[in-house]
Amino acid sequence: MTSENHQILEITKNYLKDIAEGKTADELAIYYSESVKQIEYPNRLFPEGATRNLNDLKEAFLRGCLKSRTDCKKALSVYAVNR
């Protein structure tokens, strides 16, 4: 494994660990470029598909917390304070 591949693997492991630990959207944002563009192809949830920038991803994260009723208290409280 090259050094670059090892770095990518470590970043990926840290990202997944941070998600599992319930980090906030702002804390997870370190893994994204400011110019990120996520393209979601049409599916059952979004028949028209969707395109999201970094702010859209953060808001989608919060909506996901609300819909799934997972333990996102920290994320929601940070969001409320920053609004």
- Token representation of residue 27: 């804390």
The domain in which residue 78 lies consists of: 3-82
pTM score, two decimals? 0.64
Contacts of 31 (CB under 8 A, 6+ apart): 11, 15, 18
- Name the packing angle between helices 73-82 and 54-68 (round to 10°): 130
Number of domains in the chain: 1
What is the residue whose two structure tokens read 């609004």? 83
pLDDT in the model for residue 23: 86
- 6-55 pLDDT tens trace: 999 999 999 989 888 888 888 999 999 999 999 999 999 889 999 999 99
